[in-house]
Amino acid sequence: MAFGGFDSKGPSSTMSEINMVPLIDVMLVLLVIFIITAPLLSHSIRIDVPQVSAQPVEQEPLVVDIAIDPQGAVFWNEQPVAVEDLAVRFAQEAVRDPQPQVRIRADLDTRYATLAEVMAAARKAGIKRLGFITRPGDSTPQEAAAAAPGASSGPAAATPPATAGSAR
């Protein structure tokens, strides 16, 4: 870098201008790089891909609804069935292709043991698609009774919902 000049002020004065030569060299190198790489980025190969004209096959998804009431009665697509017969029915559904989706809908007061028996029978039979039908929202039993159709608008429906800190 040059800090001095050849003017008449003498050797003690410094030059306060930016030396442009290194900046021009850098810009020239960048320009050459862009000139070389630009054609490579836009180069493409023409490929004739096959055109598909088939319509998608629309299959109605197979669904098996299992309902469990508070007394432990099990219903297979709204038809009552014994818990002992579920293993045979699940085995028949497991060999189908495509395998149906099994949806379990249990009452809030259903014993967990009954629900566990149904899930174990489905797993032993080889059912891969097992789901649960739930009601949206986190409600207490009082709120569920108040939201049920035909519920009375008595004092139970007028009570405020329980907060996270209150005892249930």
CATH code of 100's domain: 3.30.420
Q: Which domain range does residue 82 map to? A: 63-135
Q: What is the pLDDT of residue 81?
A: 92
φ/ψ region of 86 (left if φ > 0, alpha if ψ in -120 to 50, else beta) reads: alpha
Return the amino acid letter for 89.
Answer: R
pLDDT at 139 over 70: no
Measured distance CA(43)–CA(140) in Å, rounded? 65
Q: How long a stretch of residues is the chain?
A: 168
Q: What percent of the chain has pLDDT over 90?
A: 28
**What are residue 159's DSSP bridge partners?**
none
Over the stretch 78-113, which tens digit does the pLDDT of each residue have? 999 998 898 999 999 989 888 889 999 998 888 889
Report yes or no on 89 lying in a domain: yes
Mean pLDDT of 126-148: 71
Residue 158 backbone phi and psi in degrees, to 5: -90, -5
Domain total in the chain: 1
Q: What is the pLDDT of residue 159?
A: 38
Mean pLDDT of 139-153: 52
Q: What is the pLDDT of residue 154?
A: 41
Highest mean pLDDT among 61-65, 118-122, 143-147, 150-154: 118-122
Q: What is the pTM of this model?
A: 0.48
Report yes or no on 146 lying in a domain: no
What confidence category does residue 29 fall into, taking pLDDT thresholds of 50, 70 and 90? very high
Over the stretch 38-83, which tens digit does the pLDDT of each residue have? 877 776 778 777 787 777 777 777 899 999 998 889 999 999 999 8
3-class SS of residue 87? helix
Report yes or no on 150 lying in a domain: no
Report yes or no on 19 lying in a domain: no
Q: What is the pLDDT of residue 122?
A: 92
Measured distance CA(135)–CA(149) in Å, rounded? 14
